[in-house]
Amino acid sequence: MPTLDDDLGYPVHFKRPPNRLVSLVPSLTEALATTVPDRLVGATEWCTHPVGLDTPRVRGTKNPDHAAIGRLRPDLVVANQEENRRIDVERLRAADIPVWVTVTESLDGALQSIRRLFVDVLEQAEPAWLLAATTEWNRPTAAAAAAGRVVVPIWRDPWMVVGSRTFAGDVVSRLGLLHIFAGSTERYPRLEVPQLLAADPDLVILPDEPYAFAVDDGPEVFPGISTAFVSGRSLTWYGPSMATARAELSDRINLALASD
């Protein structure tokens, strides 16, 4: 097998297609467990899908247990530039554990990154769910003028919103919505409440992760503004959920708009 460059251009040497995989990314864990379950030997505590996933845990995405990973004897650790720390990647590589780092700053970029992982690295046929997701998101973007201007908080105290060069932000735009902070200089701007309100959103999309927004936790800051509660997995995960995310997100947004 040739040397392949990961999404950051780092060369990863393979003697053969990796058969023992540790995933440090929840969405990629779901993708691997769905497609090559026999190869997944480790995942983080945050890896909640597929439901009932039974695989050894290596602590969290930001504090993986390097020793535990080493004991699993992985042929490859799968990480992500945004979700995992560079220092952890460097320490694993220093311990002679190969790491493949993915980059997902857009929907098309995520599709391409996952395709490379499965087809080029794992030497698998393109998964059916990936083909379905590609077909679904390549459909023409439907106009959603009724929604107007949209803001997507992901955290509060401090308030943080989806900004530029993000997978979630691209998903929002591909739904035909006007993503207010798409032109931000930051990927996840921190804003005070007055700044959020000054952006004059017509719709606020509140996911249930990474912050668990709820009916009594979030909407009170945006009185008189339509609020759509969505699954964080549909909005931010790049894996099998992409095949159904467009329909699920559209349904939740349309429901919020219709209720006002």
Q: Which pLDDT value is given to residue 146?
A: 55
Over range 106-125, report the average pLDDT: 97
Instruction: Record the tokens describing residue 207, joined without a space.
Output: 């996911």
Question: pLDDT exceeding 70 applies to what percent of the chain?
Answer: 97
Angle subtended at Cα 107 by Cα 168 and Cα 203, rounded to the nearest 5 degrees = 35
Report CA 184 to chain centroid distance, whole Å. Answer: 19
Whole-angstrom CA distances from 250 to 143, 175, 253 are 11, 7, 5
- What CATH class is the domain 4-126? alpha beta
Q: Are 232 and 239 in contact, with CB atoms under 8 Å apart? A: no
Per residue in 57-105, pLDDT tens? 999 999 999 999 999 999 999 999 999 999 999 999 999 999 999 999 9
Mean pLDDT of 242-253: 94
Q: How far apart are CA 79 and CA 224, in angstroms?
A: 41
Classify domain 145-258 at the CATH superfamily level. Answer: Nitrogenase molybdenum iron protein domain (3.40.50.1980)
Mean pLDDT of 36-61: 96
Domain residue ranges in the chain? 4-126, 145-258
Of 204, 145, 200, which Cα lies nearest the Cα of 177?
A: 145
Residue-wise pLDDT for 125-140, tens only, equals 999 999 999 999 998 8
pLDDT in tens, 214-237: 999 999 999 999 999 999 999 999
Judge whether 4-126 and 145-258 match in fold.
yes
How deeply is 209 buried, as exposed, middle or buried, from its count of CB atoms within 10 A (0-12, 13-18, 19+)?
Answer: middle
Range 209-214 average pLDDT: 95
Distance CA 51, CA 257 (A): 31
